[in-house]
Structure 1
Amino acid sequence: MFFSMNFNKMFFLFILFFSTLISISSNSWFGCWIGLEINLLSFIPLINNSNNNLSSEASLKYFLVQSIASINLLFCIILKMIFMKNFEMNNLLSIMINSSLLMKMGSAPFHFWFPNIIEGLSWFNNFILMTWQKITPIILLSYYFNYNFLLIIIIMNSIIGAVGGLNQTSLRKLMTFSSINNLSWMISAMMISENLWMFFFFFYSFMISIICFLFFCMNMFFINQLFFININYMIKLSLLINFLSLGGLPPFIGFFPKWIIINFLLMNNLFFMTFILIMMSLIMLFFYIRILYSSFMFNYLKLKWMKIFIKNKMMYLINIFSLISISGMVLSTFFFM
Structure 2
Amino acid sequence: MFNNSSKIMFLNILMMGTFISISANSWLGAWMGLEINLLAFIPLMSDNKLMSTEASLKYFLTQALASSVFLFAVILFLLNSMKSNSNYFMEMIIFSSLLLKSGSSPFHLWFPNVMEGLSWMNALILMTWQKIAPLMLISYIIFKPLIIMSIILSSMIGALGGLNQTSLRKLMSYSSINHLGWMLAAMYNNNLLWMTYFIFYSILTFAMIFMFNMFKISHINQLFSLFFHEKNMKFILFFNLLSLGGLPPFLGFLPKMLVIQSLTMNNQLFLLTFMVMMTLITLYFYMRLCYSAFMMNYYENNWLTYSMYKLSSMKTFLVYSFFSMFGLFIIISLYYLF
**TM-based fold match above 0.5:** yes
CA deviation string 1:166-220 (max 9, x = no partner): 1111000000000000001111112222221111111100000010011111111
SS at match of 1:165: coil
- The letter of the residue matching 1:92 is F
**Structure 2, unaligned runs of 5 or more:** none
Match of 1:320 in 2: 319
Query: What are the equivalent positions in structure 2 for 1:92-171 lying under 5 Å apart?
Result: 92-171=89-168
CA positional deviation for 1:231: 4.4
Deviations 1:235-268 (A, max 9, x none): 2122121111111111100001110111011111
Q: Secondary structure at the match of 2:163?
A: coil
8 Å contact from structure 2 (residues 230, 306) kept in 1: no
Q: CA deviation at 1:307?
A: 11
Deviation of residue 270 (structure 1)? 0.8
Say which SS state the counterpart of residue 161 (structure 1) adopts: helix
- Verify the 8 A CA contact 2:229 2:306 in the aligned structure 1: no
Shift of 1:141: 0.7
Contact residue 185 and residue 258 of structure 1 kept, 8 A: yes
Q: CA deviation at 1:335?
A: 7.0
Divergent runs of 4+, >4 A = 306-309, 334-337
Unpaired segments ≥5 residues, structure 1: none
Residue type at the aligned position of 1:301: N
Give the match's secondary structure for 1:151: helix
Q: What is the CA–CA distance in structure 2 between the aligned matches of 1:141 and 1:6, rounded to whole Å? A: 33
1:6 is aligned to 2:4? yes
- Measured in 1, the distance between the counterparts of 2:310 and 2:2 equals 17
Equivalent-residue separation in structure 1 for 2:149 and 2:136 (angstroms): 19
Q: Secondary structure at the match of 1:160?
A: helix
User: Structure 1 residues 72, 294: CA separation in 2 closer, same or farther (over 3 Å shift)?
Assistant: farther
Say which SS state the counterpart of residue 327 (structure 1) adopts: helix
Aligned mates of 2:119, 2:232 — CA distance in 1: 24
Distance of aligned partners of 1:320 and 1:307 in 2 relative to their CA distance in 1, 3 Å threshold? closer
Distance 2:71 2:291 in 1: 47
Task: Between 103-112 and 232-241, report the one with greater CA deviation.
Answer: 232-241
Aligned to 1:209: 206
Q: Deviations over 1:21-72 (max 9, x none)?
A: 01111101001000000111000101002x2201111111111000000000
- Match for 2:89: what amino acid? L
Once residues 307 and 192 of structure 1 are traced to their aligned partners in structure 2, the CA distance between those partners, rounded to angstroms, is 48
> What is the deviation of 1:104?
0.4
Larger mean Cα displacement after TM superposition, 184-193 or 130-139? 184-193
> How is 1:215-254 mapped onto 2 (pairs within 5 angstroms)?
215-229=212-226, 230-254=228-252
| CA distance in structure 1 between the aligned counterparts of 2:144 and 2:265, rounded to whole angstroms | 16
Q: How many residues align?
A: 333
Query: What is the CA–CA distance in structure 2 between the aligned matches of 1:85 and 1:310, rounded to whole Å?
Result: 63
Q: Do structure 1's residue 300 and structure 2's residue 300 form an aligned pair? A: yes
- Give the letter for the 2:268 counterpart: L
Once the two structures are TM-superposed, the CA of residue 101 in structure 1 deviates from its matched residue by 0.3
Work out whether residues 118 and 176 of structure 1, in 8 Å CA contact, stay in contact via their aligned partners in 2: yes
For the aligned residue pairs, the C-alpha RMSD in angstroms reads 2.0
TM-score, with length taken from structure 2: 0.93
- Give the Å deviation of 1:117: 0.7
| TM-fit CA distance, 1:313 | 2.5
Q: List per-residue Cα deviations over 1:63-91 (Å, max 9, x = no partner).
A: 10000000000000011112213222212
Structure 1 residues 334 and 84: CA distance shift in structure 2, 3 A: farther
Q: Give the TM-score of the pair, scaled to structure 1.
A: 0.94
The offset of 1:320, in angstroms, is: 2.1
1:28 is aligned to 2:26: yes
Corresponding residue for residue 61 of structure 1 = 58
